[in-house]
């Protein structure tokens, strides 16, 4: 099963022996649990929440006489510049160049 939501694609492989819907449901539940575990342990929650908020806010922007692209792009640039000054952004960049896992502050 694949689902496309604004460019986000995830695949839940259904086992070959999945004759019953409960087997497919168990595969789906296992995939959800794996994604949630990864989000909870391996990512920084606050920057991720900021990114989601910025993304969905951009989608709602409507420009004067246009599609809102220019306004949304300018706004997103300001959000990214503001986030680039955070401790988590500095840690992400530092850990990337040091080839180590980041230790998030938030």
Each residue's pLDDT tens digit, 63-96: 666 777 888 888 888 888 888 888 888 888 999 9
Does residue 33 sit in the same domain as residue 59? no
Q: Using alpha carbons, select from 7, 5, 25 the residue that is nearest to residue 15.
A: 25
Domain count, the chain: 2
Does residue 24 sit in the same domain as residue 49? no
Q: Identify the residue whose tokens are 């300018």.
A: 74
CB 106 within 8 A of CB 87: yes
Q: Which residue has the higher pLDDT, 55 or 38?
A: 55
Does residue 52 sit in the same domain as residue 63? yes
Q: List beta partners, residue 2.
A: 11
Strand pairing report for 8-11 and 2-5? antiparallel
pTM: 0.45
In which element (H, E) is residue 9 found? strand 8-11
| Position 106 in a domain | no
Q: Which domain holds residue 77?
A: 45-98
| Position 105 in a domain | no
């Amino acid at each position: 099963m694949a689902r496309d939501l604004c460019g986000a694609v995830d695949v839940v492989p259904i086992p070959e022996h999945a004759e019953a819907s409960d087997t497919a449901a168990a595969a789906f539940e296992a995939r959800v649990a794996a994604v949630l575990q990864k989000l909870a342990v391996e990512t920084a929650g606050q920057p991720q929440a900021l990114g989601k908020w910025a993304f969905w806010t951009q989608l709602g922007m409507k420009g004067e006489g246009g599609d809102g692209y220019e306004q949304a792009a300018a706004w997103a640039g300001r959000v990214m510049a503001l986030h680039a000054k955070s401790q988590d952004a500095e840690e992400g960049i530092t850990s990337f160049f040091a080839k180590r896992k980041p230790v998030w502050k938030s």
